[in-house]
Structure 1
Amino acid sequence: MSDATPARRTAVFLLDQVLGEGRLLAECYAAGALERLEPQDRARAQRLATDTLRNLERCDKILAKYLKKAPPLHVKNALRLGAYELCAGGAAHGVVNTIVNIIARHKRHGALKGLVNAVLRKVAEHGPAEWAKLRTSRLPKWLRAPLVEAWGSDALRGIEAAHQAGAPLDVTPKAPGHGALPEGDTLPSGSIRVQDSVQVSTLPGFETGDWWVQDAAAALPARLLQAQAGEAVLDLCAAPGGKTLQLAASGADVTAVDISEKRLALLKENLTRTKLSAQVIARDALEHHGQYDAVILDAPCSATGTIRRHPDLPHAKDGSDFGALINLQTQMLAHAWSLVKPGGRMVFCTCSLLPDEGECQIEDALDMFPDMTADPAPIHALGIDSNWITEEGGLRLRPDYWADRGGMDGFYMALLRKSA
């Protein structure tokens, strides 16, 4: 048995779950899909599954030349994985033999091992040259259509290119310029971008808590809020906690609320590691009450801005739950606004590329609340392009922005001030 067999078998299982059962990879990991693997195999299985999903259209284009009809999904996913590895430079002998053995041992599909062998050998011979000529993999039509309507075809091609490229590692320093920090490029917004693939826990400053992992775009809402020492600040929907850490590092008196106790456990671990403090509460955001100088609401959303990190999302989902999410955001925004003291402020944000979950929410809120105004002025201090400021006074970020630096997650955020 090849050393790569456990990782490849698990990667095929993950593809089956996403493409056959509509499950997100995070759900599979939480259910124990990787538990029996050694750490090295675990990382390899995750990488193989996510890279195959990023390149799914290209894999299918390559395979279509050698398949007269579609095989069962499990077999097709094994072929997709093999095609990706072969076209990405994997050793033909190891890849083909392992994938063939995986299918050969399958109770229902073992008889198709000959087909798998024949197809992958053809892919090994011709695939790499064909791969280089193929266009960037496109998003599924259900998501592509609204994004073309929102941003146009040219912008979407840039977004899709960013999705296929994946995401580098960004970290947020606890105290910029101080402590042990990993080597990397300092972005205009202050985040540090580590370009090489690394084991996070081995980087300088991790054990001493001098920084935490956080996409450059996700680090901007807390900076936009400008929390001050001694202020009472609420972080709603706080997990996994990057914004809570930023707020705590400012010296504010922070309360972090999230409905998921499991996700809050990671937040608590990071508070301990970074030697920062916050009151952490497991509670539905709509049931939390109090009065605060400042509030961040990172509302539940479609997460379409994070596809470069989570390429499973457009294949596991179909957009049918977006209407319910948008309604929930509206409820949460209204509730969060009731928690802001007169004269206080709030940042509303979502990691979405859909205007209905960003710009439209704030346009509606400004009409609904006479004591609410959007303040775009502090956005100029974030180190970003002022052209990204929107008409209603928010900030729109997209994966194709900073393309020459490695892109960023898609985000929307707005700073809202309450009259005294």
Structure 2
Amino acid sequence: MADATTDARQGAIRLLDQVLGDGRLISEAIASGTLDRLDPQDRARAQRLALDTLRGLERADRLLSKHLRKPPPLTVRNALRLGTLELAQGAAAHGVVNAMVQITGRHRRHGALKGLVNAVLRKVAAQMPEAWEQLRIPRLPKWLRAPLAEAWGAPAIAAMEAAHFAGAPLDLTLKPGADPSLPGAIALPTGSLRLHAAGQVTALPGYDSGDWWVQDAAAALPARLLAPQPGEAVLDMCAAPGGKTLQLAAAGARVTALDISEARLVRLRENLARTGLEATCVTGDALDHQGRYDAILLDAPCSATGTIRRHPDLPHARDGAGFGALIELQAQMLAHAWTLLAPGGRLVFCTCSLLPDEGEVQVEEALASHPDMTVNRAALALPGIDPAWITEEGGLRLRPDFWADLGGLDGFYMACLQKAPKTGE
């Protein structure tokens, strides 16, 4: 019988098979039940191992290619990749090699390749860690690297790739009045708390009492930009998983949390209950929604290219083919949201994207289409905002390589758009 460590490794290989073989995101693979047979601790470990392997995939493949005459079947190759990653992280060679041999040997079609796995990983182990550290930082695939390099330049892309390879710490948003003295946490300039070695999230102090919620420091800024006031009617237009909804509710606003996915709203409701906050949750299509709101937060569906440091599966599971449709959807959502906003109201448009077409360009085109729309530049006067992050049209551009000394932050674009009051007001 396999031990828990081997079970987690096998779970990681299943995730890698689905990302690299089927083009599925890890979140999709987990939602489909890929790790259901594992206990919570092993599920978390399997996911971490898979993510770390994807971050170092280019390095692992370069090392393995020296010892392989031809690529083995995908599952075996992923076992080799995972084993190489663990060896690079300093895991004991005998444990890693034995586990990968055992996992391969149990495979009903590829069990005969366990000898290959044993021989290759022993050779790789003999080269560690020097061979790993001499390789370049893994690069983004060409389909994504090319447009990003055009937008931001080669030095910026290299810095972003370094941030992606380093991974992401855990950021928390505190509920107002909660104790900020979480052990090991540092306060970020924008007000979020950061943990570089968090462990199991649900075991951290303050989780059960709802003192905080997990939210990248960049993702916490759009709600602060909107600056909801007590009693205001506020729409969170694409609400799930709900971090921004919690921020809006904590500010005392009357929040409507709208999302097309009822399943995703379940988690939002759970977080509302855990934190003791209130919002009206509505399942529906944002383009069909009706109402009148004092303020709207539109975190539009996007390429999510700004989140690669925490979701390294994305460049491997996607190829950019659907980005054009997403950009069109964003424009439609922004135009419809504008019809729901009361005169004199404000709307924050944001995307967790590094592509200007999903950020700066969207706002420039919206400004040209709506005579009653202006950019509220004063909203950017927030703690921790570097003036260099402010864009020409008055938005805020965040990148993974910003705050490199603090551990980076997700790529994001956001702008606060002001609607003109009625004539005579």
- The interval holding the TM-score normalised by the smaller chain is over 0.9
Q: Which runs of 4+ in 1 moved over 4 A?
A: none
1:223-265: per-residue Cα shift (whole Å, max 9, x none)?
A: 0001101111100000011111111111111111001111111
Residue number in structure 2 paired with 1:203 = 204
Residues 127-206 of structure 1 aligned to structure 2 (within 5 Å): 127-175=128-176, 178-179=178-179, 181-183=181-183, 184-206=185-207
Q: CA deviation at 1:38?
A: 1.8
Residue number in structure 1 paired with 2:14 = 13
**Cα distance in 1 for residues equivalent to 2:35 and 2:14:** 10
Q: Secondary structure at the match of 1:399?
A: coil
Q: CA deviation at 1:303?
A: 0.4
Q: CA deviation at 1:282?
A: 0.7
Residues 311-350 of structure 1 aligned to structure 2 (within 5 Å): 311-350=312-351
**Cα distance in 2 for residues equivalent to 1:4 and 1:199:** 17
Residues 357-376 of structure 1 aligned to structure 2 (within 5 Å): 357-376=358-377
**Cα distance in 1 for residues equivalent to 2:234 and 2:198:** 35
Q: Secondary structure at the match of 1:343?
A: strand
> Structure 2: which amino acid aligns with 1:168?
P
> Structure 2: which amino acid aligns with 1:264?
L
**Cα distance in 1 for residues equivalent to 2:108 and 2:412:** 45
Structure 2 residue runs without a partner (length 5+): none
Q: Which moved more, 1:94-103 or 1:104-113?
A: 104-113
**Cα distance in 2 for residues equivalent to 1:302 and 1:336:** 20
Residues 269-418 of structure 1 aligned to structure 2 (within 5 Å): 269-418=270-419
Q: In angstroms, what is the RMSD of aligned CA positions?
A: 1.1
**Cα distance in 2 for residues equivalent to 1:115 and 1:147:** 39
Residue number in structure 2 paired with 1:123 = 124
Q: Which moved more, 1:372-381 or 1:48-57?
A: 372-381
Q: CA deviation at 1:181?
A: 4.7
Q: CA deviation at 1:179?
A: 3.4
Residue number in structure 2 paired with 1:100 = 101
Q: CA deviation at 1:307?
A: 0.6
**Cα distance in 2 for residues equivalent to 1:382 and 1:285:** 31
Residue number in structure 1 paired with 2:76 = 75
> Structure 2: which amino acid aligns with 1:412?
Y
Judge conservation of contact 1:79–1:116 (CA < 8 Å) in 2.
yes
Q: Secondary structure at the match of 1:346?
A: strand
Q: Does 1:217 align with 2:222?
A: no
Q: CA deviation at 1:180?
A: 6.0
**Cα distance in 1 for residues equivalent to 2:169 and 2:261:** 27
Structure 1 residue runs without a partner (length 5+): none
Judge conservation of contact 2:174–2:180 (CA < 8 Å) in 1.
no
Judge conservation of contact 1:2–1:98 (CA < 8 Å) in 2.
no
Residue number in structure 2 paired with 1:241 = 242
Judge conservation of contact 1:220–1:382 (CA < 8 Å) in 2.
no
> Structure 1: which amino acid aligns with 2:372?
D
> Structure 2: which amino acid aligns with 1:310?
H
> Structure 1: which amino acid aligns with 2:106?
R
Q: CA deviation at 1:127?
A: 3.2
Q: CA deviation at 1:276?
A: 0.8
1:337-391: per-residue Cα shift (whole Å, max 9, x none)?
A: 1110011110000000000000000000000000000112221224210110000
**Cα distance in 2 for residues equivalent to 1:370 and 1:118:** 68
Residue number in structure 2 paired with 1:254 = 255
Judge conservation of contact 1:180–1:205 (CA < 8 Å) in 2.
no
Q: Secondary structure at the match of 2:290?
A: coil
Q: What percentage of residue pairs aligned between the two structures are identical? A: 67
> Structure 2: which amino acid aligns with 1:153?
A
**Cα distance in 1 for residues equivalent to 2:379 and 2:291:** 26
Residue number in structure 2 paired with 1:51 = 52
Q: CA deviation at 1:218?
A: 0.3
Q: Which moved more, 1:109-118 or 1:163-172?
A: 109-118
**Cα distance in 2 for residues equivalent to 1:250 and 1:127:** 51
> Structure 2: which amino acid aligns with 1:349?
C
Q: Secondary structure at the match of 1:143?
A: helix
**Cα distance in 1 for residues equivalent to 2:115 and 2:196:** 41
